[in-house]
Amino acid sequence: MAVSFERRQTRTLHVGKVPIGGGTPITVQSMTTTKTADVEGTLQQIYALAAAGCDIVRCTCNEAEAAEGLAQIVPRSPIPVIADIHHQYKMALAAMEAGVHGLRLNPGNIRRPEHIKAVAAEAKDRGLPIRIGVNGGSLDPALYDKYGGLTAGAMVESAMQEIAYFDEVGFTDYKISVKASNVPLMVDAYRMLADVTDAPLHLGVTEAGPLPQGLLKATAGIATLLLEGIGDTIRYSLTADPVEEARAGRQLLEALGLRERKNVDLIACPSCGRAEVDVIDVANRAMQAFGERKLPLQVAVMGCVVNGPGEAREADLGIAAGNKRGHLFVKGRNVAVVKEEDMVEALVEWAEFINEHGVDAAIARADTTLAEREAAKDRGALLDEKGLDANHAQEKIVEIRRTVSGG
């Protein structure tokens, strides 16, 4: 799918072999919740994140045992590993010694200029990138006092101060984030930052919270900026299994046309008086059946045969219920009729066939004449039973007009 908005032009850097910025595909990040010293547990989580669509993972490096764990994790990780550093700059040096692919520093809690410059100089020598991770919850108290609280200007100035220290040692391989838990504040901060630097930007709403609230908050902030062309890499900060973060990030980028589809995009009608099945139940069972199958298709679940195939004609594959049967359609064309209890199984089977052989082959193997005749029969029967106006809107319109006219 072509992107209809222009992305902000930035410099390019690499986290391991993964490029960020410069018009390269927007990447998805997440962070492990295990103790980094737990090498096997952390690797298990990293592999689960990678399977869910995560491109880059961050692990905390808060103690010597964590740095030692990173030395074992990095060479076995399927995706690049970034070390998350707080307070102790020596942990950044230890993480680099462990072989990580990048660092994240928080200017709010590593404030001594000599420490910041020591880390930047070492990263420069090793060719490693650093994320300047400004966080609204840990802003430098001096900036908080200067701006009278947490503001977009305060967060941007915090980032620019860090850049000034990097400049002193000639380090330019950095990306920036200015995260806040307040969505409008976060959006304002990134817009302001985008006007003063060409560095790649890492988007996120920090401490977004549990599902579904956190998902809504994070999407509101991240999607707003992406649609403005701002952002080069993203992370959902959810109070949930980090796999949910990776999955949400991937799905958002696919929905916006910023990454190629990786898994099924399942669409479904909201249901109405004509629905012949429990659409919510069928859609949920279909999602479970597709699971993590790598089927980059749009699949539709529709409640009736009256409007289903037409409304979902752009879907690669769909099914509509009618007269206790499921009517399969490919690109809006009826191709098969199955028993109602076999609808989900048939969807999966046809999706796998289309993914392997293509839409044309799927239509060619079908008895479309029979399928279309049966669909027409069930459509006619349903209209006879429930009518074109299944929700009786026309009757209500008559009453409304009578009420308004005073008749």
pTM: 0.85
Specify the pLDDT at position 322. 73
Confidence of residue 1 (pLDDT cuts 50, 70, 90): very low
Q: Alpha-carbon distance 48 to 36, whole Å? A: 16
User: Is the pLDDT score of 134 beyond 80?
Assistant: yes
Confidence of residue 194 (pLDDT cuts 50, 70, 90): very high
Specify the pLDDT at position 370. 85
Give the mean model confidence (pLDDT) for residues 394-404: 72
Percent over 90 (pLDDT), the chain = 70
Quick: pLDDT tens for 294-330: 899 999 998 877 666 677 778 899 998 877 788 899 9
Quick: pLDDT tens for 274-284: 666 788 888 89
Give the DSSP letter string of 231-267. Answer: -SEEE--BSS-HHHHHHHHHHHHHHTTSS---S-EEE
Output the average pLDDT for the chain.
90
C-alpha triplet 190, 192, 198: angle, nearest 5°: 80
User: Is the pLDDT score of 186 beyond 90?
Assistant: yes
Are 8 and 15 a contacting pair, CB within 8 Å?
no
Give the position of tokens 């929700």.
391
Q: Give the torsion through C-alpha atoms of 112, 118, 123, 124, to 10 deg.
A: 120
Which among 290, 302, 310 has a CA at the least distance from the CA of 354?
290
Specify the pLDDT at position 273. 66
Structural domains of the chain sorted by starting position, each given as residue range(s) with its CATH number in brackets: 13-255 (3.20.20.20), 265-386 (3.30.413.10)
CA 30 to chain centroid, in Å, comes to 11
Which among 221, 225, 206 has a CA at the least distance from the CA of 84?
206
28-32, 172-176, 213-217, 387-391: segment of lowest average pLDDT: 387-391
Specify the pLDDT at position 358. 94
Specify the pLDDT at position 353. 96
Quick: pLDDT tens for 78-110: 999 999 999 899 999 999 999 999 999 999 888
User: Is the pLDDT score of 216 beyond 90?
Assistant: yes
Q: Alpha-carbon distance 261 to 351, whole Å? A: 14
Which among 193, 230, 199, 202 has a CA at the least distance from the CA of 7?
230
